[in-house]
Amino acid sequence: MNLIYKYMQFVKEYEYFDKFLLKASRYSEFNDPFDLVQGDYAASLPKKERKEFYEAMEHLNDPLYHLENYLDIEAGARASIGVMCFTESYKNLLMWAHYANNHTGVCVGYDYDCNFFHNKYSSNYYDNVGEIRKVTYTKKRPKYADPYHLVNETCEWFKKSKEWKYEEEHRILLPIDDASYRDGWENNVSPIFLFGIEPEYIKKVILGCRMADENKKYIYEKLSSYDIQIIEAKPHPAHYKLTFSEYSLNNSSNSNVVYNLGMDIK
């Protein structure tokens, strides 16, 4: 069985292990300022060619044209489509640090072949929606020639700088109108869009090596009625890597203290 993974912070109030809701992000929420933002084709041209390009595309010299397209873009795919990101591995130290709150969170493994990732959600207006795709890492930014093309453009949303290659990312685009749950509208803050995934599609939950024992126990008890493998991560005593073993309620110990002197053990 192929699995795809998602690193997450552990926030008890979020109640992920009650409702199994996954958050979809929109373009302004990404930590990479280049994500979902294409480069300007004209800006990449030598000065002479750039001048000729603008002469041939006279409408691009009109500020009003850019303003109108800006408004259309903000109301188009960027406003209507959410992005959910996953990875191929649960062993990446950087991913644990960046996305699982310094190893205090979890990494959840899902069945890659389940219908959630393959056309359970789709869109009549935008391409590439509802089907998980692997991210391509490249040195050159994708570029647009005319801002009008960005209104409904989504195919370049699966490209990132090679700097991010370590993430081994797969992502799926989802129509936010189909979200199972929304929050934030009434408080005048950025809304949150959550999509439900059936718990039978969850195959593994890996507990971070710095997760408090009480939180490990909480998750274990929440998932006890499901056929989900619960694994505990621990720092390797000699190498820069993690070890993984089956979590047992009666066998989870603070043995990490033996080779993690100086780390606060909870």
How many angstroms separate the CA atoms of 160 and 149, rounded?
Answer: 19
DSSP 77-101: HHHHEEEEEEES-S--HHHHHHHTT
Residue closest to 54 by CA, chosen among 146, 159, 187:
146
Res. 23 pLDDT band, cuts 50 70 90: very high
pTM: 0.89
Q: Is the pLDDT of residue 189 over 70?
A: no
Residues 6+ apart with CB under 8 A from 63: none
Q: What are the pLDDT digits (tens) for 52-107? A: 998 899 898 888 988 998 888 888 999 899 999 999 999 999 999 999 999 999 99
Res. 263 pLDDT band, cuts 50 70 90: low
Residue closest to 23 by CA, chosen among 94, 91, 99, 76:
99
Res. 266 pLDDT band, cuts 50 70 90: very low
Question: In the prediction, which pLDDT does 74 show?
Answer: 86
Q: Tell me the pairing of strands 181-183 and 192-196.
A: antiparallel
* Boundaries of every domain in the chain: 3-39+75-201
Scan for tokens 């408080």, then name that residue.
187
